[in-house]
Structure 1
Amino acid sequence: MQEGVTQIRGGEAMLETLEGTVCSYCELGRLDLRSYKGNDAAVCTECGVPAAQVW
């Protein structure tokens, strides 16, 4: 069980690192932390494309 907890925390840290960066898909928006299809994700505020998601 401890390994799963570590993986979740690592995923959350990755998403936090991406928050506020420029979207690599459209380059117009910034990444914001939100839900994407039920998963925690870093999603572009302009085009809605997820840069990363954790499930």
Structure 2
Amino acid sequence: MITDETLTRINEGAQLHHHQGQRKAARDLFAQIWDEIGGERGDPSHACVLAH
């Protein structure tokens, strides 16, 4: 079970994109998360998962 809120939100974006076909909504969510974590300067695990 994922208990990390950021990873949960990244997963929600992946679900939007891959399973619901909502690419723009997923892209917007990923951009918002990227800004919130501080981009490349943020938590390395979050940045890595989000970038991939």
TM-score by length of 2: 0.39
TM-score by length of 1: 0.37
Whose radius of gyration is greater, 1 or 2? 1
> Higher strand fraction: Structure 1 or Structure 2?
1
> Higher helix fraction: Structure 1 or Structure 2?
2
